[in-house]
Structure 1
Amino acid sequence: MFYFLLLCLPDFIILMILQRFSLLKLLEFSLISSRARQLVRSLNFTSEPIEVYIGDYEISIMIYGNQWEMRFSFYKRQYNSNNQIKRKLSPPRFADVIINNKRYKLHKEEFEMKDWLDHLLSVFNCSKIKKCKLATNQYDISSLEKTFDGVDTVALDFFEFSAEDVKGIWNAFKTCETLDINRFVYKGNEEKIQKILMRNYTTLRFFENTTLSLDDLLTINSSHAMFFPASFTEKVLNRFLKHWIKGSNPRLESADFVCYLEHNFELNLLLKGIDHKVEVINHLIFDDDEDEDEMEPDTEHVRIEIKRWDGTVATLAIESVRKFASIWMTVR
């Protein structure tokens, strides 16, 4: 009742009162009406980019401010044990909220999941979701598409997804600029990985051990690609570099490969038959937090310059020690 009476006052007086409210009270007040939401928004709360987690047991939204943090959880413990039937996003009715480690509930029964998301984006002056981590395949993709549009980065973090799942994820997050693959079973999924590599993301990152063939490398269509770790031989990467020098992968501006090899890394095999210039460089050029005393004594750091077919210069920065190699390539 107090919140409704508050709305009878002029805006400038309401704003003075709101400045004394706790975060919980501000959220409660913002849910009363569009005017209340706009008044809270006008306090110019700012947060770190909003992140969403979609898991088996909940969907959560994380919001971090300068001296506070919030977590909104929906559909808690509503696990779907039948993966053949995909869950649609029904109205969640309420949100479980943790604000600075204290638990609360916010009720808004008529809100769809998208209404909750749009409301929070508005209140905290955010234009879109920074990152969405998808850790389950139990939800109906069309429901996700309608709710979580305009995402910058999508992270896939589950093993079992079908070709239909992959296609659905592309449709649901077709405007995302970055795709992160946190978990992936390569064996038996070669066709799926090639379809992922063919997409024209700004950034594509694999954080799961990935075996890359020459065909895989030639399929990369993103501007920036990262593979951590990757499995291939110097011979495969040598052949890829020769194709790249001649103009393959026209969108690729940079790639980062962290490799664990079957034998000690051999730079000569990587550069065989490629016209190049090698410069031994100091390890401080690399973005590395390790102290010099902690570095392996036989670690090599080199920079290679390669002239491409169109006159642009490609640079390879390589750090290697025994069977490990970090290879970063870029065009300038």
Structure 2
Amino acid sequence: MTRALAVVDTADPFACLAALREALSGDGPAVLFRGGGVNPVHTAPLEVEKRVALVVETSGTTGRPKRVALSADAVLASAAATESAVGRAQWLLALPVQYIAGSNVLARSLSAGTTPIAVPPGRLTSERVLGAVAAMDDPVRCTALVPAQLGRLVDEAEADDDVRRALAGFTRILVGGQATPAALIARATALGWNLTRTYGSSETCGGVVYDGVAIGQAEVRIVDGQVELGGPTLAEYYLDDPERTAAAFVEHDGARWYRTDDAGEIVDGVLRVTGRVDHTIVTGGLKVRLSDVERIVREQPGLGDAVVVAGHHPEWGEVPVVVTTARPSLDELRRTVGAALAPEARPDRIMTVDALPLLPSGKPDRLAIAQRVTAGH
């Protein structure tokens, strides 16, 4: 059996809330939230399988967007898992609804019977945040942020005590979407903010690992060094993409698992993500495959030896860094990469070296190159 799929404009979060409520109850169509900042998938079907309630478009890692189909059971299981970890709360909506973290704020609010308060659209500023917090009427408050947003608020709070006190009043601030620098966590903690690092993706209906430990009925395991996640929050499939679905979702001993793109290890029951298995980074909450950036860079005159690795950025987390023996124009290279790939793929900087470190095979020693970038020389 099938049901209709409605594309809902994210301009009005409360219209999105009402649409999601009907989708989860089965009284309305499944929903796909779409805002002006999302690369639209024009071939989105008008119908989906009846068990699907929410479809989330993601950037993917190949430049080809994915449409993740989530059942009502998965969305509600995710909300229940979060409530079991942080308690019933009123939520501050600071993330776009079209992303799973934003949709989850709505789902958690529906599950808890509380009214979410949305920060006005635009850059996250102290004025917008303080205005939204002032409208909250429940003493138990939570919000979800990405590291770039947290960094901005920490900067504001260190100069504005009103911001510091407002966020210190939150029971929990969830931070996910990409790796959060330890220094940023330390600064936020010093302000008295109660942070929880989350790990998950659209395919797991958002974060299912909090501070390295699975929540609710979620499970985490390592297979050949790769992180896999299981439990009732897993997506059904990728719409119209059975090949990608088969590669990402696997079954073992009757249980279903989502195979992430992350390498990791579990030490004393705590998950530690050690990197990406496909040379993909998450920058500003979006995925960028470094091999794609490197391919474009190497096509440019004089850059056949260039290597692209991940570098740290205080606001965006990880960013592409070009390491080469040449001295190309950064502006020109950014324009070239941006024309071929997503804007987030544009190199953040260029490091020129006398010679690239090589392995005995003659291939670039990417670990040594990445270490140079980290050290800044």
Indicate whether the TM-score tops 0.5.
Answer: no
> TM-score, with normalisation over the residues of structure 1?
0.28
Larger RCO of the pair (alpha carbons < 8 Å, separation 6+): 2
Higher strand share: 2
The TM-score normalised by the length of structure 2 is 0.26
